[in-house]
């Protein structure tokens, strides 16, 4: 059951990476977005392959398995996805305001605290790290919908529209991750390990492949605006 999902994850991410690269814009102004979005599922494919092969899959000590490659995947892919959004919000002038450092710092703390929660045997310790991870997550949302949203709106135009669409899609899909985590064996154990692996597979396909393909299409609409300058 679990191994089928992990193998499907490997194949879906590999194909997704190629599809994003093949269909994304090659225009000089936004090629870096295509490359970022193709790299994200490539990293995830590597993590799924490692999990399928059983590398760094550990018994926490009470029978629950912790899939370390998942967290390694997230620590690389989530900053890449956020970096794409920050570049968009700042309309490709990314040296403003230190937002990139702030959002990636919060995001990395969110993933690290999540990993600490997952490996903690004691229920209270697990809950504390879960809540700490959620606090960092809230900080990410704040930056996306507060200062970055404002910057993007000041620039206006097609890119601002694309920023808002991307930020909304990302915010909705990412919100499901802590929910699945909390329900699964790493959290309160309401759903089985297999169910949580399938659920995360669906989320990963949406957050990396679906998101990457849609962002690619949206960015093409803003191509003329970017090339004009």
Strand partners, 67: 57
207 binds ligand RET (CB under 6 A): yes
> Angle between the 2-23 and 211-221 helix axes, to the nearest 10 degrees?
10
Nearer to ligand RET, 22 or 138 (CB): 138
Compute the distance between CA of residue 6 and CA of residue 171 in angstroms, rounded to an integer: 25
First to last CA, the chain: 52
Q: Which of 16, 34, 48, 78 binds ligand RET (CB under 6 A)?
A: 78
152 binds ligand RET (CB under 6 A): no
Site string for ligand RET, 4-33 (x = CB under 6 A): ------------------------------
Q: Which of 74, 99, 163, 198 binds ligand RET (CB under 6 A)?
A: 74
**CA dihedral defined by 80, 83, 87, 89, rounded to 10 degrees?**
120
99 binds ligand RET (CB under 6 A): no
Compute the distance between CA of residue 186 and CA of residue 57 in angstroms, rounded to an integer: 13
Q: Which of 29, 108, 128, 134 binds ligand RET (CB under 6 A)?
A: 134
- How many other C-beta atoms are found inside a 10 Å radius of the C-beta of residue 216? 21
137 binds ligand RET (CB under 6 A): yes
Q: The tokens of 113 are what? A: 């605290």
208 binds ligand RET (CB under 6 A): yes
Cβ contacts of residue 10 below 8 Å, gap of 6+?
Answer: 45, 48, 49, 52
67 binds ligand RET (CB under 6 A): no
Compute the distance between CA of residue 162 and CA of residue 141 in angstroms, rounded to an integer: 17
48 binds ligand RET (CB under 6 A): no
Give me the least distance between CB of 157 and ligand RET, in Å please: 27
Compute the distance between CA of residue 129 and CA of residue 146 in angstroms, rounded to an integer: 25
Q: Which of 174, 201, 209, 226 binds ligand RET (CB under 6 A)?
A: 174
Residues near ligand RET (CB under 6 A): 40, 74, 77-78, 81, 110-111, 114, 117, 130, 133-134, 137, 174, 177-178, 181, 204, 207-208
């Amino acid at each position: 059951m679990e191994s089928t999902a992990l193998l499907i994850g490997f194949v879906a991410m590999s194909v997704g990476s190629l599809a994003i690269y093949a269909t994304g814009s090659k225009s000089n102004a936004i090629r870096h977005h295509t490359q970022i979005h193709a790299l994200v599922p490539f990293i995830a494919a590597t993590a799924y392959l490692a999990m399928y092969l059983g590398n760094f899959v550990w018994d926490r000590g009470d029978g629950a398995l912790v899939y370390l490659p998942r967290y390694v995947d997230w620590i690389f892919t989530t900053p890449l996805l956020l970096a794409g959004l920050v570049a968009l919000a700042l309309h490709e002038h990314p040296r403003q305001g230190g937002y990139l450092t702030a959002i990636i710092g919060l995001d990395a703390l969110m993933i690290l605290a999540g990993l600490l929660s997952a490996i903690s045997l004691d229920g209270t310790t697990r809950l504390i790290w879960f809540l700490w991870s959620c606090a960092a997550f809230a900080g990410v949302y704040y930056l996306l919908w507060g200062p970055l949203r404002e910057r993007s709106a000041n620039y206006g135009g097609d890119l601002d529209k694309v920023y808002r669409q991307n930020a909304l899609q990302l915010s909705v899909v990412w919100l499901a991750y802590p929910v699945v985590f909390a329900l699964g064996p790493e959290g309160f154990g309401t759903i089985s390990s297999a169910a949580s692996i399938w659920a995360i597979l669906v989320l990963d396909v949406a957050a990396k492949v679906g998101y990457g393909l849609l962002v690619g299409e949206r960015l093409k609409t803003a191509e003329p605006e970017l090339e004009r300058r």
